[in-house]
């Protein structure tokens, strides 16, 4: 009887460990298979601020910065034109230091019902040219504009249009594993990352990497993609239904790169006064942006050249450029991810080139 009990106990222990080992293997396999993905969205919080911003500046803004002539922009104009004198529009127009990318702060609000600002993002406000007191003053105007303009109903009616506008490019980006290419370029081994691309269909001027999102969730990255207008003489247009052309591909390389270079910029930029010769009459934010893009623009062109043979930027930096960007491009060209040398080393060397250039002017 004792022998039987001993055998049963031994069998139970063996089975238990075998199950644990199988579970461990299954977890490892599932972790390895967890894909990185890109999601495209039209966000209600950004959209209401973009519409309000466009209403505030439309009479004096550079025509090149006006929304593209699409069915959607016409619906926006017809629906919201009667609210041009709303207090929200007047307040935005009077803000002294507001930037074109102001609507991105929509992501700092919990929702469009209360427009409750999430204080974790307070440190980001200065980069948008707005203060916390101005944010607080903005809240009641946003709440009233949301209600009186019937924005919720307008947004819901256009959800099918939004989905149709971004569905194709989202599939194209994921099918060609664009985000994985960027991750591999920077030798990132992270898995299960999610890159959210917030599309602004009536922003025809700029794109932007977003350093904050989802309470700084380390598993999520975000970027803003504008709807840059096609030329008037284009035979076809991709402003109604977005497609992954080479311009947008390069833009995504550019903005995704910021997600990796931002920390390096802060680590190696040093005293900002040393760059005054490269950015005259610039404030601190403008200096950092200038130095950042001295590296990221050549980086975008290098990635585009290597991945799909786009050579206009490549030829420009090698054969026509006469400033420090040429040296930066050459230095970046020496970087080979497959050799395992960290990108940080190359970035640091590029920053030294910039410092040397600034000291010689």
Give the model confidence (pLDDT) of 82-133 as tens digits.
Answer: 999 999 999 999 999 888 999 999 999 999 999 999 999 999 998 898 999 9
pLDDT value of residue 29: 46
Alpha carbon distance 43, 104 (integer Å): 10
Nearest CA-CA partner of 168 in 63, 115, 61, 245 = 245
3-state secondary structure of 237: coil
Mean pLDDT of 200-218: 91
pLDDT at 256 over 50: yes
Average pLDDT, the chain: 89
The residue that leads in pLDDT, 2 or 330, is: 330
Question: Which tokens belong to 176?
Answer: 């060609």
pLDDT at 153 over 50: yes
Mean pLDDT of 308-333: 96
pLDDT tens profile 162-178: 999 999 999 999 999 99
Alpha carbon distance 336, 329 (integer Å): 13
Mean pLDDT of 348-352: 98
pLDDT value of residue 1: 47
Question: Which tokens belong to 193?
Answer: 């990352």
Which residues have a Cβ under 8 Å from the Cβ of 110 and sit 6 or more positions away? 116, 117, 118
Structure confidence at residue 36 as a pLDDT band (50, 70, 90)? confident
Give the rounded percent of residues in the chain with a pLDDT score beyond 70.
89
8 Å CB contact between 257 and 299: yes
Alpha carbon distance 312, 337 (integer Å): 23
Question: Which tokens belong to 322?
Answer: 């006469």
Alpha carbon distance 333, 311 (integer Å): 13
The residue that leads in pLDDT, 45 or 10, is: 45
Mean pLDDT of 275-283: 92
């Amino acid at each position: 009887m004792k022998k039987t009990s001993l055998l049963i106990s031994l069998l139970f222990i063996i089975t238990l460990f075998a199950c644990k080992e199988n579970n461990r293997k299954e977890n490892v396999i599932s972790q390895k298979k967890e894909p990185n993905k890109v999601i495209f969205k039209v966000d209600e919080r950004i959209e209401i601020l973009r519409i309000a911003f466009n209403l505030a500046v439309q009479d004096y803004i550079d025509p090149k910065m006006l929304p593209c002539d699409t069915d959607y922009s016409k619906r926006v104009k017809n629906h919201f034109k009667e609210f041009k004198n709303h207090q929200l529009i007047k307040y935005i127009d009077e803000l002294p230091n507001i930037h074109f990318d102001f609507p991105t702060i929509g992501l700092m609000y919990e929702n469009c019902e209360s427009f409750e600002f999430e204080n974790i993002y307070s440190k980001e406000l200065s980069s948008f040219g707005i203060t916390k007191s101005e944010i607080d003053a903005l809240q009641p105007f946003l709440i009233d504009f949301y209600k009186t303009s019937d924005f919720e109903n307008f947004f819901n009616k256009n959800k099918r249009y939004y989905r149709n506008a971004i569905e194709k490019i989202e599939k194209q980006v994921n099918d060609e594993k664009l985000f994985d290419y960027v991750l591999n370029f920077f030798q990132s081994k992270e898995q299960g990352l999610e890159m959210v691309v917030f599309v602004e269909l009536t922003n025809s001027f700029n794109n932007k990497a977003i350093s904050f999102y989802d309470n700084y969730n380390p598993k999520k990255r975000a970027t803003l993609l504008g709807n840059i207008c096609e030329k008037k003489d284009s035979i076809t247009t991709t402003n109604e239904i977005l497609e992954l052309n080479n311009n947008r591909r390069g833009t995504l390389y550019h903005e995704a790169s910021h997600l990796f270079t931002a920390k390096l910029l802060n680590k190696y930029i040093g005293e900002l006064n040393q760059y005054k010769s490269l950015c005259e009459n610039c404030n601190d934010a403008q200096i950092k942006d200038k130095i950042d893009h001295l590296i990221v623009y050549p980086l975008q062109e290098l990635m585009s050249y290597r991945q799909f043979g786009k050579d206009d930027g490549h030829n420009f930096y090698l054969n026509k450029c006469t400033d420090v960007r040429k040296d930066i491009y050459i230095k970046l060209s020496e970087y080979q991810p497959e050799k395992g040398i960290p990108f940080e080393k190359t970035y640091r060397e590029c920053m030294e080139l910039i410092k040397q250039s600034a000291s010689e002017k």
